[in-house]
Amino acid sequence: MSISRRGFVAGAAAVTLGRVAPLHGFQAGEAAVSQEIPAGFDPWIEVDVAALRHNVGVVSALSGNRPILAVIKNNGYGLGVTQVAVATEALPEIAGFAVVKAEAALRLRDAGITKPVLLMALFDDETGAELASRGVSLALTTDDGGERLARATRRAGRAVTCHAYLDTGMSRMGVPYHRASEWLRTLSASGIRLQGVFTGFTEDADFDPEQLRRFLQVTDEAASAGVEVGRRHAASSNGVFHLPDAHLDMVRPGIALFGAYPSDWEAERQIAELTPAMRLRARVVRVERLRPGDGVSYGRNYVADRPTWIATIPVGHTDGYPRQAVNGAQVLINSKLYPVIGAVSASHTIIEVGAEQSVHIGDEVTLLGPDHPAIGPNAIAAATGRSVYDVLMHLNPALPRIMVRG
């Protein structure tokens, strides 16, 4: 079972807190990150720098080497917003970053990110001024967007770049396309020079081409009227794979950069090979041998019918690991897969080891990552009946994010 973005309705993860420390081998000018794997038994997340950079290259090739405005909203799709930006900013394919929370935009600047950052959200006067003073580009999303921009500019005491957001049928954000031509002309007449104009697709294969037609009609009309529209961008990860006509001047992918396929993952991996760019990891905290008739966890959904070894991992649904993992998910220990059994509780997951004790306390466990096809984010999503966006974005932001070379 595969659930696309359209099936993903849960709230986005919060941003990660904390400082970042140096990662050996980064070039001068690249922001600093941490690479030390934590000791003890608390879980952690590894961000694979090489995988991120590989995926950027794949997306660039798929989009005909268009510039990439990397969408790193919702805590960098679970990997950490500053961590992702730090790992990819130096790549020439990356034109900048896009977020949907003002705090995330400011944190990127605090982390030393100097490439363009676009806030794709409504802003109030105070927030707009603060963002403008930090060189964050603002999205004009409402009919009064020009006035909002002017107030932010006056309060900040400096000019600010901006992009116009058109609603071509998503009905989520932006000025509706049927009145957007006049709006764009009004912005231009007021002296606003856009860096870009953008829209978002519903990812309905039958309707997306109509959205693209509307977007191109409005922007072509505006350009013919002398409006400076800047770069046109519309293609998310789904558009990169399935709607090449929407690649336009720049692409705006998110989840594909992190090594997950956006929609039909079995078909999409035949188009291009992405590498999951994170690992959810922990260490075994208990190993025990069940007797016939012994049950496991809440509800006794698993009862041993023969002597069986089990192991406990200190990762649960509070860490973002799906409760539904008992429906067929597996974990990787010492290059071997083990099934999840019983019930995933808030802080623990139990696995079936088998007739022989092949697992020991302290063994490292990978619950999600690139090291086996069965634990990739799309595979875990399929096994648990969840959206792959859920799987990544619901990772607990309090877990340490450790940068590794892969």
Contact by Cβ (8 Å): 31, 20: yes
The 10s digit of each residue's pLDDT in 134-171 is 999 999 999 999 999 999 999 999 999 999 999 999 99
CATH architecture under which domain 49-268 falls: Alpha-Beta Barrel (3.20)
Instruction: Tokens for 14, please give them.
Output: 């919060």
Does residue 211 surpass a pLDDT of 90?
yes
The 10s digit of each residue's pLDDT in 347-384 is 999 999 999 999 999 999 999 999 999 999 999 999 99
The whole-number pLDDT of residue 252 equals 98
The 10s digit of each residue's pLDDT in 69-117 is 999 999 999 999 999 999 999 999 999 999 999 999 999 999 999 999 9
Single pTM value for the model? 0.90
Sorting pLDDT into bands at 50, 70 and 90, what band is 4?
very low
The whole-number pLDDT of residue 405 equals 84
- Rounded CA-CA distance 326/341 in Å is 5
Does residue 406 surpass a pLDDT of 90?
no
The whole-number pLDDT of residue 152 equals 96
Does residue 267 surpass a pLDDT of 90?
yes
Active-site residue set: 73, 298
Does residue 25 surpass a pLDDT of 80?
no
- Residue extents of the structural domains in the chain: 49-268
Sorting pLDDT into bands at 50, 70 and 90, what band is 36?
confident
